[in-house]
Structure 1
C-alpha cells in the first residue's frame, strides 16, 4: 500500500513543527532553576514559579528578573482583588484594607523599579544598581508585612483571606530578594 503524497507532507510538517517547538537544550533552564532555588527561603515555591515561567531563564540575571516579575504579577493580582472584591464590615477592617492597598501599591512601585534596574545592569555601576535592587525589594517585603500588621485586632474571613494572599506575595518577594542576592554574589565571584 502506497502512502499518499499529501499524508507524507502533513506528517513531515508535524514532525518539523514538533522539533522546532522542543527546546534546543532540554533541562538546562530547569537545572539552573533547581540549583538556584535549592537554598531560597521557599525552595519548592521558587522552583514551581520559576520553572513554569514563560520567559527566558537561562542565566542568574534572567532568574532574578523572572522572580521579580512573578512577585510583581502576584502583587498586582492581590491589589486588584483588594480594591474590587473585598469590603470590610467594620470601620477597622475598611481602614486596614485601605492601608493594605496603599502598601501593596508601594510594593508594586518598588518591584517595578527593581525590574528596570535589573534590565539595565552595567559593569561600571553594577554594585550601585544591585544595592538599589536589594533595597527596593526589601522595602516591598516591609510593605507587605506592614499590610498584615494593619489587621492586628481584626478577626474574621477578611483578615484570613488577606493574610493568605499577602503571605503568598511575601514569599515570592522573599525568593526574588534571594535571587537578586545570588546574582550579586555570583558577579562578585567572577571579577
Structure 2
C-alpha cells in the first residue's frame, strides 16, 4: 500500500502564497486611483518586509547556536558515558587478571601435588592418571597465560546505541 501524501506540502504552500500575493497586487492596482499612493504603499510594504527579514536574520543564528550547544552537550554526555564504561571494562580486566593469577597459583599447587603423587606411587595406573592431569594442567596454564597477556585495545571496543541504553561490546580479535 502506498502512503498518501500529506496535502499541504511545501511546494503547495509556496504556490498558494504566490497566488495570494498576485491576487492582492491585482486588487490593489485595480482599486487604486492614484499611482503615487500605490507606489508609496508598495515602498512601505517592501520596507516592512525588509525589516522583518532582518529580524529573522538576527534571530536565526541565535536559535542555531542554541541547537549547536545542545548537541555539543549531548555529545559530551555520551563521551562521558563511554569513558566511564571503558574505565569499568579496564577495572574488570584488572580483576580478571588477578583472578587468573590466583587460579594459576592454584593450578601450580595442583601440578606440584600431581608430581609428588607420581613420584610417591609405584602404581602404573596412578602414574598414568597423574601424567594426564599434568597434560591438562599444562594446557590450562598456557590458556591462563594467554588470557593474562591479552589486552583490550580501543579498536576492539564497539559502541552501539540501543533504544534503552548504550552498550559497549568487546570485539575479540586475535592480535
Give the shorter-chain TM-score range. 0.3 to 0.5
Larger radius of gyration: 2
Higher strand share: 2
The structure, 1 or 2, with the larger RCO (C-alpha pairs under 8 Å, 6+ apart) is: 1
